[in-house]
C-alpha cells in the first residue's frame, strides 16, 4: 500500500478521525489482527462469530498504525458508518493515486481463479504485478488486493465474483478494469441468479465498466459471452478455438497426463504452447490469459513461453499427485458446478486410459431447483464414461448415485457415503496400484480432506 496519513484516509473514506492526523499508515491493510505488521491498517469487521473491534487493542499493540472501525476504539482510528464501504472507498482512492497501473479483471462461471493466476504469471514477466491469493473476489477480498498495490506496481490482476445482479458493478466501481475478461456463462450459482441469462447479465457488468481505450476480452465459443460485445465501449478482442477468434488455439493435443499442447495464434504471430496444467479446459483459460496479456502489450512469443512455464498457483485445483504405490490422486476439490465437474471427469478418463478410474464427488451447491436433475446428469455421465467406481459423498449429492444407477450398461460400482471418513474408508478397500482417483465437490463438501487422507495414508 502507498503511505497515507490518517487525515487522508479519513478524507477518502468519509470517516471521522480519532488520533493524530499526521500518523502514517505504511503497511498492509488487514482484517485479521494476527496478520498485522508494523504500520498496518487494521479493518475491524463485525462478523457472525467475532467482532473485529474486540481485537483492535491487540492489533495496535502488534504495530498497527491505526484501526478502520465502525465505532471508536482506544487508540488511533478512523470511524466510518460502514467498514466494508469505507474499505472500498479507500481502495478506489489508492488506485486514483496510481495512474500508471494497468488493471486486468476476470470473471466467469468457472475458471476465474485459474485464469487469474495464469494472467498474473504471464504479465508478471513485464513488470511488478499484484494479484489476489486464492479467490479474493468479493466486496472485501478485492479491495484488500487493490490495497497491496504501490507506486512500483505495473499490473493489478483482479478476480471478480458475483452472487447476484449488481455485484460486479460494485466491484468495478472500486477498480475499473482497463482489461475486462469474461470466460464463460455456465450453471454455477444458477439457483441464486434464476437462470443463465441473468448470470450473463451480471457477468457482463465487467465489460460495461471498461472505458474507451480499454479492452473487453470475450470468449467467442460461448454465445452469451460473445453477445457482450454490444455492452462495452472498449475494443473487443475474442479468444477461443474457432477460426474467427482473434486469439485462438490450433493443433491442440493432450499428452498422457491430460496436459495440452497447441499453437497460440494471434494477429501479431504464432508460437507453441505446452501447458503444465491438466485438462483441455485449461486451454480456454490460457487463451483468455493470452488475450489479456496481448492487451497489456506482450508479444506472442513471450506469452507462449510464460504460459508454458506457468504452474497451478491456488490450492486444490487439478492438483495431480502420484502416490508411492502408483495410485494417482487428482485433487480438484476447491469448488464444483456441472460444467467444471464434467471437465474434471474428462481429464480423469483421459489420464486413466488403460487404468481404473474412480470419481469421488460431493455436492454441487447453489443450483436451486435444478439441483437434483444436475446431480443426476453427472451420475449418468460417470456411468457412460466407463469409470470403474463412483463414491458419492453426502445426502445433497445423492442424486448422482441415482443417475448412475439409471445407466443399465454400466459395469462399475457406485457407493454412497455420508461423510469424508466413510469416503476414505471406501476407497482404501478398493484402490490398487496405478488406479486414478478424482476428488471434486463444492467448497461446503470439504472433499480436499479425502485427497489429503489418501496421500497421507500412502506416505505412512
Residues of each annotated binding site for ATP: 108-114
Binding residues: 108-114
Tell me phi and psi for residue 261, to 5 degrees: -125, 135
Cα gap 153→403, rounded to integer Å:
50
Q: Which residue has the cell 477518502?
A: 12
End-to-end Cα, the chain, rounded Å:
44
Hey, what's the cell of 444? Answer: 461446503
Question: What residues have CB less than 8 Å from 421, skipping those under 6 apart?
Answer: none
- 3-state secondary structure (DSSP) of residue 217: strand
Q: What is the DSSP string of 6-45?
A: HHHHHHHHT-EEES-TT-EE-S-EESSGGG--TT-EEE--
Q: What is the DSSP string of 319-379?
A: EEEE-TTS-EEEE--S---HHHHHHHHHHHHHHTTTS-EEEEE----S-GGGHHHHHHHHH
Which residues face 437 on adjacent strands?
A: 329, 358
Residue among 171, 168, 125, 137 at smallest CA distance from 296: 125
Q: Are strands 319-322 and 413-417 parallel, antiparallel or unpaired?
A: unpaired
Tell me the C-alpha to C-alpha distance, in Å, between residue 23 and each of 59, 426, 434, 440, 450. Answer: 16, 59, 61, 48, 49
Hey, what's the cell of 327? Answer: 495410485
- 3-state secondary structure (DSSP) of residue 423: helix
53, 46 Cβ separation under 8 angstroms: yes
Cα gap 188→200, rounded to integer Å:
11
Cα gap 52→31, rounded to integer Å:
8
Hey, what's the cell of 85? Answer: 464501504
Hey, what's the cell of 211? Answer: 472505458
Amino acid at each position: 500500500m502507498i503511505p497515507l496519513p490518517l487525515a487522508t484516509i479519513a478524507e477518502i473514506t468519509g470517516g471521522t478521525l480519532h488520533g493524530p492526523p499526521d500518523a502514517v499508515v505504511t503497511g498492509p491493510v488487514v482484517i485479521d489482527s494476527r496478520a498485522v505488521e508494523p504500520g498496518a491498517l487494521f479493518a475491524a469487521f463485525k462478523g457472525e462469530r467475532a467482532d473485529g473491534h474486540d481485537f483492535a487493542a491487540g492489533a495496535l499493540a502488534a504495530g498497527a498504525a491505526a484501526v478502520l472501525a465502525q465505532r471508536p476504539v482506544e487508540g488511533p482510528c478512523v470511524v466510518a458508518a460502514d467498514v466494508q464501504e469505507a474499505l472500498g472507498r479507500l481502495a478506489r482512492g489508492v488506485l486514483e493515486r496510481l495512474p500508471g497501473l494497468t488493471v486486468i479483471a476476470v470473471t466467469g462461471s468457472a475458471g476465474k481463479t485459474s485464469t487469474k493466476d495464469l494472467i498474473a504469471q504471464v504479465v508478471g514477466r513485464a513488470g511488478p504485478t499484484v494479484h489476489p491469493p486464492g479467490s479474493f473476489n468479493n466486496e472485501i477480498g478485492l479491495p484488500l488486493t487493490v490495497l497491496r498495490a504501490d507506486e512500483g506496481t505495473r499490473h493489478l490482476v483482479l478476480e471478480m465474483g458475483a452472487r447476484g445482479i449488481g455485484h460486479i458493478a460494485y466491484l468495478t466501481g472500486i477498480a475499473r478494469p482497463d482489461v475486462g475478461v469474461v470466460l464463460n456463462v455456465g450453471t454455477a450459482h444458477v439457483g441464486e441468479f434464476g437462470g443463465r441469462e441473468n448470470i450473463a447479465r451480471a457477468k457482463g457488468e465487467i465489460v460495461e465498466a471498461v472505458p474507451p481505450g480499454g479492452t473487453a476480452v470475450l470468449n467467442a465459443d460461448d454465445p452469451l459471452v460473445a453477445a457482450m460485445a454490444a455492452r462495452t465501449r472498449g475494443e473487443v478482442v475474442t479468444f477461443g478455438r474457432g477460426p474467427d477468434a482473434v486469439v485462438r488455439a490450433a493443433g491442440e493435443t493432450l499428452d498422457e497426463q491430460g496436459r495440452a499442447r497447441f499453437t497460440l495464434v494471434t494477429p501479431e504471430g504464432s508460437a507453441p504452447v505446452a501447458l503444465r496444467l491438466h485438462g483441455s479446459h485449461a486451454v480456454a483459460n490460457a487463451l483468455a490469459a493470452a488475450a489479456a496479456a496481448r492487451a497489456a502489450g506482450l508479444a506472442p512469443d513471450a506469452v507462449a513461453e510464460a504460459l508454458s512455464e506457468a504452474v497451478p498457483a491456488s490450492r486444490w485445483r487439478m492438483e495431480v499427485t502420484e502416490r508411492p504405490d502408483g495410485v494417482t490422486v487428482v485433487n480438484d476439490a476447491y469448488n464444483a458446478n456441472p460444467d467444471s465437474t464434467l471437465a474434471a471427469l474428462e481429464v480423469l478418463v483421459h489420464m486413466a486410459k488403460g487404468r481404473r478410474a474412480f470419481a469421488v464427488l460431493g455436492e454441487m451447491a447453489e443450483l436451486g431447483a435444478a439441483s437434483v436433475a444436475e446431480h443426476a446428469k453427472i451420475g449418468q455421465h460417470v456411468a457412460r464414461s466407463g469409470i470403474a467406481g463412483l463414491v458419492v459423498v453426502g445426502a445433497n449429492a445423492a442424486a448422482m448415485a441415482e443417475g448412475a444407477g439409471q445407466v443399465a450398461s454400466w459395469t462399475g460400482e457406485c457407493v454412497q457415503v455420508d461423510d469424508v471418513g466413510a469416503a476414505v474408508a471406501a476407497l482404501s478397500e478398493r484402490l490398487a496400484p496405478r488406479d486414478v482417483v478424482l476428488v471434486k465437490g463444492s467448497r461446503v463438501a470439504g472433499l480436499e480432506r479425502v485427497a489429503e487422507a489418501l496421500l497421507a495414508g500412502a506416505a505412512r
